């Protein structure tokens, strides 16, 4: 089995944070960071593939500060290595600038299988994984429900409404996981002890990844976040889901007809 890299994002354990009236940004001083719940499932999938086929699992995350506790959580689960991508210049990165850093790290680690969460608990953008795949020019499948080795390929499943699609994906590739991937294992006491006592976290900065300062952080971000606001969403009715079948042209025509019928164009 290949060299597996799982990208994780440390998020505050309590997402009910205060937003600063002065800066318009979340107040995160003193927050305890944990691995995003989706990405813990990605780690679980990586560990299962390693147990079945061999290979190694590396957990990695990008941060402008030292947040190794979340990485050690991955080591405690059973990951072989951990890499922290830490540089002050990474601060303020949007999804594209983040994807550039992670893609460079994946290339440096010679990753053959990249796993990510489908989305993060705090931002929920779901764009970083596909962007990494695009930068590296490798195939990707998002929100998969399972993956298993099939020779030199992976057989992965993805849900579309009530139906399941199956793909055979060649390596190297990127997969993002859904909540249907098996629940992550609970770290043992021995695993926690090894993670904090015996296993090291490798730290790489921008120069280690051979990235120009204009391509990362705020400088490399085409989007800007003006401010954050806490809003209470109220859903009046339950949205219905409709599945369009056929080839790409048929699906597009059916979608346009339905949108027009609802007076939305």
Percent of the chain with pLDDT over 90: 45
pLDDT at 199 (0 to 100):
85
Contact 45, 147 (CB under 8 A): yes
Instruction: Say yes or no to pLDDT of 15 above 90.
Output: no
Task: Please report which confidence band the pLDDT of residue 137 belongs to, taking 50, 70 and 90 as the band edges.
Answer: very high
The reply to whether omega before 248 is within 30° of 0 (cis) is: no
Instruction: Say yes or no to pLDDT of 121 above 70.
Output: no
Q: What is the number of H-type helices and E-type strands within the chain?
A: 6, 11
List the one residue out of 17, 238, 234 whose CA is nearest residue 123: 17
HSE (CB half, 13 Å, CA atoms) of 253?
A: 5
Position with higher pLDDT, 161 vs 86: 86
Lowest mean pLDDT among 49-63, 216-230, 240-254: 216-230
pLDDT at 209 (0 to 100):
95
Strands of the sheet containing 81-86, edge to edge, are 163-170, 153-160, 140-150, 173-177, 113-117, 3-7, 56-63, 81-86, 201-204
**Mean pLDDT in residue range 47-71:** 86
Contact 104, 209 (CB under 8 A): yes
pLDDT at 259 (0 to 100):
83
**Going by C-beta distance under 8 Å and a sequence separation of 6 or more, which residues neighbour residue 6?**
39, 42, 43, 46, 57, 58, 59, 60, 74, 79, 114, 115, 116
pLDDT at 122 (0 to 100):
47
Instruction: Say yes or no to pLDDT of 223 above 50.
Output: yes
Which tens digit of pLDDT belongs to each residue from 138-158? 999 999 999 999 888 999 999
Fold of domain 3-236: Rossmann fold (3.40.50)
Which tens digit of pLDDT belongs to each residue from 186-202? 888 888 888 888 788 99
List the one residue out of 95, 60, 77 whose CA is nearest residue 203: 60
Residue burial 26-48, b: 16+ Cβ < 10 Å; e: rest = beeeeeebbbbebbbbbbbbbbb
Q: Measure the CA–CA gap between 145 and 142, rounded to whole angstroms.
A: 9
Q: Measure the CA–CA gap between 187 and 75, rounded to whole angstroms.
A: 9
């Amino acid at each position: 089995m290949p060299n597996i890299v799982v990208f994780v994002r440390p998020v505050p354990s309590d997402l009910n944070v205060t937003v600063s009236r002065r800066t318009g940004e979340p107040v995160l001083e003193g927050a305890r960071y944990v691995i995003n719940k989706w990405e813990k499932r990605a780690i679980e999938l990586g560990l299962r593939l390693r147990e079945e086929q061999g290979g190694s699992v590396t957990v990695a995350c990008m941060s402008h500060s030292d947040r190794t506790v979340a990485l050690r959580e991955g080591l405690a689960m059973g990951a072989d290595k951990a890499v922290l991508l830490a540089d002050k210049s990474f601060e303020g990165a949007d999804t594209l600038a983040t994807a550039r850093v992670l893609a460079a790290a994946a290339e440096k680690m010679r990753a053959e299988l990249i796993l990510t969460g489908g989305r993060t608990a705090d931002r929920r953008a779901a764009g970083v994984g596909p962007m990494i795949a695009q930068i590296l020019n490798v195939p990707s499948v998002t929100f998969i429900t399972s993956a298993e080795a099939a020779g030199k390929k992976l057989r992965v499943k993805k849900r579309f409404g009530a139906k399941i699609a199956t793909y055979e994906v060649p390596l190297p590739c990127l997969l993002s996981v859904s909540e249907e991937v098996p629940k992550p294992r609970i770290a043992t006491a021995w695993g926690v002890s090894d993670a904090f006592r015996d296993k090291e976290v490798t730290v790489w900065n921008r120069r280690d990844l051979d990235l120009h300062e204009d391509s990362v952080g705020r400088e490399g971000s085409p989007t800007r976040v003006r401010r954050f606001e806490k809003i209470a969403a109220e859903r009046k009715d339950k949205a219905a889901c409709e599945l369009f079948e056929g080839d790409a042209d048929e699906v597009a025509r059916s979608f346009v007809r339905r949108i027009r019928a609802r007076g939305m164009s």
